[in-house]
Chain A
């Protein structure tokens, strides 16, 4: 049974969307990255136009990062000061990204730009991950123990306006997190991704934050970047489809939980090569779709307002009549879903601890 998306104007199978977003969520929970840059291409393959896939995936990322960030806030593993510095850069980067998006949309090349950006990013990340896994095969075989330098200084560490970040115990230039935020924001606006694959390595290797603060702070930054991306896409292009967002959020939140639980039980480092191969395959399929497949001239199916059901009609009219408030509503919708998911998860784990935890035997 196909469902009509009133904003994107395409028919999709809700079971397929739920299943794929859950699988991507499992991968994301297992490896810590990959939600956005796998789900957006999958949406495109399922017939959602690229400009809509980007905007709706950004809204989905908002919900999942609110959920993850609430968990880290409850555990107190967040550096707000550092996060806000990255957000300042992220805001400027996102504005630049939306400006670039608008330029390419106006000249009618946005779909090609999104596809090109995806195939190159996926190919670069896939290649780096595979080369790293090759190195690990060699090291494991020869039993090489690598000596790491305690402090490696790059040009970025010599920048002025240094500030103390007590939570991370760092004395760093404010330009370091701002520049990183700038890059992440720009890419997030064009590609509809959270940017964790840039943010997490940059926080560990460039800013040198303590590892336990990295996931929470990265999710905290992603919230702000995806809020701006969602809002700007919504008011500029009216491309947020709450029907699609709801399905994506449910699938990915459930998937991420399963992935995190799996990650606690199995060693995922050996599976990294498989993820890398998956990224390369997705890159090749996007390349084939963009360069060699026959062009589908009209992928959308316009349906008159009268034929829509109540919910679809409400979404369509709301987005057309009040784009500003529809943008705010989309953000609120994702935030509420994210917070609800975090509290449900906490309640479930408390319930399990209370009733299913094995009692520890005391030894005298």
Chain B
């Protein structure tokens, strides 16, 4: 009876952390992607 009540906030919290981490990694990859791609095409 109590099991879903405990699990749903836990799952939501885990999803939120995963979302934040994905966002941070995407930002880092986007930044480095633009910089490295730009450097590559400029110096070629």
The chain A residues found within 8 Å of chain B, CB to CB, are: 116, 119-120, 123, 126-127, 130-131, 133-134, 137, 141, 273, 277, 280, 283-284, 287-288, 290-292
CB distance B27 to A119 under 8 Å? no
Contact A284 B34 (CB under 8 A): yes
Cα-based distance from A9 to B28 in the complex (angstroms): 37
Chain B residue with Cβ nearest A283: B31
CB within 8 Å for A288 and B27 given contacts A134-B21, A137-B17: no
Partner of B35 from the list A119, A130, A141, A273 (CB cut-off 8 Å) is A119
Known A134-B21, A137-B20, A141-B17; judge A123-B31 contact (CB<8 A): yes
Report Cα–Cα, A118/B37, bound state, in Å. Answer: 16
Those of B1-44 within 8 Å (CB) of chain A = 17, 20-21, 24, 27-28, 30-32, 34-35, 37-39, 41-42
Select which of B21, B31, B41, B42 is within 8 A of A126 by beta carbon: B31
Query: 8 shortest A-B CB distances, which residue pairs?
Result: A291-B38, A280-B31, A287-B35, A287-B34, A287-B38, A130-B24, A127-B28, A284-B34
Q: Establish whether residues A284 and B30, one from each chain, have CB atoms under 8 Å apart when the complex forms.
A: yes
Interface of A is mostly: helix
Whether the Cβ atoms of B32 and A123 lie closer than 8 Å is yes
CB-CB under 8 A from B30, the residues of chain A are 284
CA distance A134 to B18 in the complex (A): 11
In the assembly, what is the distance between CA of A291 and CA of B36, in Å? Answer: 10
Q: Are A120 and B35 in contact (CB under 8 A)?
A: yes
Q: Return the chain B residue nearest A282 by Cβ.
A: B31
Q: How far is the CA of A291 from the CA of B37 in the complex (A)?
A: 9
A66 CB to closest chain B CB (Å) equals 34
Whole-angstrom distance between the Cβ of A119 and the nearest chain B Cβ: 5
- Are A291 and B31 within 8 A (Cβ)? no
- Measured CB to CB, the nearest residue on chain A to B20 is A137
Shortest beta-carbon distance from A112 to chain B in Å? 8
Q: Please, which residue of chain B has its CB at the minimum distance from the CB of A116?
A: B39
A141-B17, A291-B42 known; A283 vs B35 contact (CB < 8 Å): yes
Within the complex, the shortest CB–CB distance from A231 to chain B, in Å, comes to 33
Q: Which residues of B contact A126 (CB under 8 A)?
A: 28, 31
Q: Can you name the residue of chain B whose Cβ is closest to the Cβ of A273?
A: B24
- 29 A-B pairs with CB atoms under 8 Å apart are A119-B35, A120-B35, A123-B31, A123-B32, A123-B35, A126-B31, A127-B28, A130-B28, A133-B24, A134-B21, A134-B24, A137-B17, A137-B21, A273-B24, A277-B27, A280-B27, A280-B28, A280-B31, A283-B35, A284-B31, A284-B35, A287-B31, A287-B35, A287-B38, A288-B34, A288-B38, A290-B38, A291-B34, A291-B41
B33 → chain A closest CB, angstroms: 9
Assembly CA distance A265 to B38 (angstroms) = 42
Q: Roughly how many angstroms separate A55 CA and B13 CA in the complex, as a whole number?
A: 48
B29 to chain A, nearest CB (A): 10
New A-B contacts (4) at CB < 8 Å, excluding given A123-B32, A277-B27? A273-B24, A280-B27, A283-B31, A287-B35
Which of B21, B28, B37, B41 has the most C-beta atoms of chain A within 10 angstroms of its own C-beta?
Answer: B28
Interchain nearest-CB distance for A41 vs B (Å): 14
Q: In the complex, A182 Cα to B21 Cα: how many Å? A: 37
Q: Which residues of A contact B39 (CB under 8 A)?
A: 116, 291
- Name, among B20, B24, B39, B41, the residue most crowded by chain A CB atoms within 10 Å (CB to CB): B24
> In the complex, A314→B35 CA distance in Å?
42
A287 and B39 CA atoms in complex are apart in Å by 9
Residues of B within 8 A of A120 (CB): 35
B31 touches A292 (CB 8 A): no
Name the A residues within 8 Å of B20 (CB-CB): 137
Closest Cβ–Cβ distance, residue B35 to chain A (whole Å):
5
B34 touches A127 (CB 8 A): no
Give Cα A288 to B35, complex, Å: 8
B40 to chain A, nearest CB (A): 9
